[in-house]
Chain A
Amino acid sequence: MNKPLLEVSNLQVEFNSRQGKVTAVRGLTYTINEGQSMALVGESGSGKSVSALALLGLLPKKTAKITAGSVKFRGEELIGAPEKTMRKLRGGSIAMIFQDPLSSLNPVLTISQQIVEQIKAHEKMEGKKAEERAIELLDMVGIPSARERVKQYPHQLSGGMRQRAMIAMALSASPSLLLADEPTTALDVTIQAQILELLTNIQKDLGMSLLLITHDLGVVAGFTEKLTVMYAGKAVEQGDTAEVLGNPNHPYTLGLLRSIPRLDRPRTSELKPIQGVAPDMSKVSVGCAFQPRCEYAQSKCATENPLFSTISKDRYAACWYPQDHALQNESLSK
């Protein structure tokens, strides 16, 4: 089980458009083992989606460029790999689901047609058989009366059902890795719970690996084993999910956990926000990108960039002055 499936190291992505240069990903390193689930969290614009698109070779060719780093899947380098290899991987060994299922489903094809198309792209299978497989998949993701539903168009399904159909489609080629970019952000909390429970059950049953992009730390705690926190295009903290959430080392992770009200803690009188705003990704940053908002910053932080390095066993952070706060024993907020 501890065999690495996906190894990303020092990934960097740049956009060059008329509006100027944006360095969206500035150094991202992580490994996902076979059967493992990892969450990627960070503010909007911190580079989560761009880094995922980069893995699949789905960045816009004209404006985007991977300027450094390496992405290995089962030991094979994907950066610079021929388009043919990438096409075979996408929807095959690596599948992806997005936040908005309506925009990623084809509105003029039935659910059946879309799943069958997907199956046939990766496997030789006759039409009738592929249709049966589509129904099986919809059944597996908990769509009631799958045999009828499969003949419907995306707009005839509810948001939750569309997301299930997307999952069914992603699973059609039995991928080893599923990338899910905010798969439940558009859904209600009761439906979110249904979908995530489904996703992680399937993940365990099939021994699939999962990269879950989200901004919800509750979802992270409930559904992932490993966690990477991004800030301004970089990995700033990484480790076992329970350990990072229980005892964050990086001031950003700590600030995030202290700023949210929590149903598992007594009601507090006042929240403790992180002051200021995230930096503009079109600007070059000197020193630590979190420095303007960091309550632990010292003079070195403004001029020298902290490297992403080991803090303790299997724990990484990019900070000159890592913290050690056991949040279980801290009454959060003032």
Chain B
Amino acid sequence: MTNNEPVLIVENLSVHFPIGSGLVRKAKGYVKAVNSVSFVINQGETLGLVGESGSGKTTIGRAIVRVNDPHEGSILLDGHELVGLSPKEMRPLRRKVQMVFQDPYSSLDPRQTVRQILVEPLVTHNLPLKNAQGEDRVDELLNLVGLDPAFASRYPHQFSGGQRQRIGIARALAVEPDLIICDEPISALDVSIQAQVVNLLESLKKRLGIAYLFIAHDLAVVRHISDRVAVMYLGGIVELTSSTELYENPRHPYTRALLSAVPVPDSVVEKARKRIILQGDIPSPTNMPSGCAFHTRCPLRTMLGNPEICSTERPELKIYPSKKDDHQVACHFADESS
């Protein structure tokens, strides 16, 4: 279902938050949440975004919907530049990209019925309340996400977590977006419910041709749902390639550590495996390490006898020659990590 028309092109995106600045005071420094990130999402494609807490995933999502103001860079949505637009100029484009959030409890207004929740975006964007066949749009949306249209008069607290997440997805679908940013959409749900929501997202993608930016912690779910995957560390993408290639042939030492840390539900596999245990904690984005952001914890750097370049020069994300796919890695020694 993917075709190669990009719906989103992000180029050199940086988002920095000032620390301790007020109206008059000057910023004491910056939280460098996202640094020169570039990627493309094609129509009907799912790009997975993984990385540790604080690595900048949500910040990227929020920059695309312009909740966060980029410090520099470009965001092209369906060919329109979003960076620098006023809220008014943004409004017609805002329809094209929607968000689904982690917490199905706090992201729905408890005082609104499901009908009110779903009608609101239609009214905001001057969209008809009936579809071309004359069917009520609310009914259509509820059917689409697998909920009984009779539920339209109920309130959010009358639903389970998984059902609330379906309502959140229906709300995002109401304005017929080209791209939905899903920020940890299943991590608040029970394991037995997660698969229901993953299947729903996949079937909607097949039927409606929507593209997703799928942000998640669970690397197995990300492999399952994504066409391509970007791995983030401390505000930068360190590796980006097809889902199959990333999991079969990871090149960046951080990706390797990440994958080796995921336990699988098979005792035999678990007893036999060797984990790459990373030393220390993730550094603070207010005080970024010099050179390669990963150098303070990188096992490959240690193995190579601490080459100077790791701590002096930031490695760019560049194509690593691979037989199968485009495979981009940000490491000076990507060739040696076999």
Contacts and interface: CB of A to CB of B under 8 A. Distances in A.
Interface of A: 43-44, 144, 158-161, 188-194, 196-197, 215-223, 241-242, 245-246, 255-257, 259-264, 267-268, 270-275, 277-278, 328
A267 B223 contact: yes
B258 interface: yes
A8 to B, nearest CB: 23
Given A215-B191, A271-B199, A264 B259 contact: no
Contact of A218 (B52, B53, B265): B265
A260 B219 contact: no
Contacts of B266: 221, 245-246, 262, 264, 328
Given A161-B281, A270-B202, A188 B52 contact: yes
A158 B285 CA distance: 13
Given A144-B280, A261-B224, A277-B160, A189 B219 contact: yes
8 contacts: A43-B190, A188-B53, A194-B277, A262-B264, A262-B265, A271-B198, A277-B163, A278-B192
B261 A192 contact: yes
Contacts of B194: 259-260, 273
Contacts of A273: 192-196, 199
Given A221-B270, A222-B270, A278-B190, 9 more contacts: A193-B263, A219-B263, A222-B263, A256-B192, A264-B266, A267-B244, A267-B247, A273-B196, A328-B266
In this complex, the member of B190, B221, B258, B266 whose beta carbon has the largest number of chain A beta carbons within 10 angstroms is B266
Contacts of B150: none
B243 interface: yes
B269 interface: yes
B193 A260 contact: no
B275 interface: yes
A189 B261 contact: yes
Contact of B224 (A189, A216, A246, A268): A268
Contacts of B190: 43-44, 215, 278
Interface of B: 52-53, 160, 162-163, 190-196, 198-199, 202, 217, 219-221, 223-224, 243-244, 247, 257-259, 261-270, 275, 277-278, 280-282
A271 B218 CA distance: 15
A274 B194 CA distance: 9
B65 to A, nearest CB: 25
Contacts of A159: 53
B138 to A, nearest CB: 22
Contacts of A194: 277-278
A228 to B, nearest CB: 15
B73 to A, nearest CB: 26
A282 to B, nearest CB: 14
Given A158-B281, A271-B198, A271-B224, A263 B160 contact: no
Given A43-B191, A270-B202, A193 B220 contact: no
B199 A189 contact: no
A315 B24 CA distance: 69
A273 B221 CA distance: 13
Given A188-B53, A197-B275, A218 B191 contact: no
A277 to B, nearest CB: 5
Query: Which of B219, B243, B277 neighbours the largest number of chain A CB atoms within 10 Å of its CB?
Result: B277
Contacts of A259: 191-192, 194-195
A29 B18 CA distance: 55
A257 B257 CA distance: 25
B268 A190 contact: no
- Residue from B194, B259, B262, B267 with most neighbouring chain A CB atoms (10 Å): B267
Contacts of A241: 267
Nearest to B163: A277
A255 B196 CA distance: 12
A180 B108 CA distance: 33
5 shortest interchain CB distances as A-B pairs: A218-B263, A242-B267, A273-B195, A217-B265, A261-B224
The interface centre, meaning the residue of B53, B247, B269, B270 with most chain A CB atoms within 10 A of its CB, is: B270
Nearest to A270: B199
A241 to B, nearest CB: 6
A254 B52 CA distance: 30
A189 B217 contact: yes
Contact of B191 (A158, A256, A263): A256
A190 B257 contact: yes
Given A263-B247, A267-B223, A218 B262 contact: yes
A257 B244 CA distance: 22
A44 B189 CA distance: 9
Contacts of A188: 52-53, 217, 282
B223 A263 contact: yes
B199 A277 contact: no
Q: Of residues A194, A261, A267, A278, which shows the largest number of chain B Cβ atoms within 10 Å of its Cβ?
A: A261
Nearest to A265: B264
A223 B263 CA distance: 9
B242 to A, nearest CB: 11
A280 to B, nearest CB: 10
A142 B196 CA distance: 40
A274 B162 CA distance: 12
Contact of A263 (B162, B196, B262): B262
A257 B267 CA distance: 13
B192 A221 contact: no
B192 A43 contact: yes
Contact of A193 (B198, B247, B261): B261
Contact of B265 (A161, A196, A197, A220): A220
B265 A221 contact: yes
Contact of A277 (B52, B162, B244, B263): B162
B221 A261 contact: yes
B220 A263 contact: yes
A233 B202 CA distance: 33
Contacts of B268: 242, 246
Contacts of A189: 52, 217, 219, 258, 261-262
Nearest to A197: B277
A191 B52 CA distance: 9
